[in-house]
């Protein structure tokens, strides 16, 4: 469902208010809706519906983010904040 509704965004570059750039890909969308990822949100007191709504609105959320802190990702991947 989300992959189909977000198909128009695949490959699109998004720039937020701090000039960070993100590119939404099918692979990244798939990661966002995996059971493991959804369960992490549920463990942080989100419902599954709220998690999926956030994924569906990822462009809006990224554009409006207010970055409070950053840390290195355990994989060392530099494009994860």
Is residue 63 a contact partner of residue 16, using CB atoms and an 8 Å limit? yes
| Structure confidence at residue 22 as a pLDDT band (50, 70, 90) | confident
pLDDT at 78 (0 to 100): 65
Q: Where are the domains of the chain?
A: 2-64
Is residue 54 a contact partner of residue 60, using CB atoms and an 8 Å limit? no
pLDDT at 38 (0 to 100): 94
| Structure confidence at residue 8 as a pLDDT band (50, 70, 90) | low
Question: Nearest-5° angle of CA 45, CA 1, CA 40?
Answer: 25
pLDDT in tens, 38-60: 999 999 999 999 999 998 888 89
- Give how far Cα 39 sits from Cα of 1, 14, 15, 51, 69, Å: 18, 26, 28, 9, 23
Which distant-in-sequence residues (6+ apart) come within 8 Å of 56 by Cβ? Answer: 2, 5, 6
pTM over 0.75: no
């Amino acid at each position: 469902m989300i992959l189909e509704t977000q198909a128009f965004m695949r490959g699109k570059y998004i720039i937020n208010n701090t000039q960070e750039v993100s590119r939404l890909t099918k692979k990244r969308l798939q990661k966002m809706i995996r059971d493991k990822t959804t369960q992490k949100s549920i463990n942080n007191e989100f419902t599954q519906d709220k998690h999926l709504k956030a994924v569906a609105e990822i462009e809006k959320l990224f554009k409006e983010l207010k970055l409070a802190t950053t840390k290195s990702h355990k994989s060392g991947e530099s494009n994860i904040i």
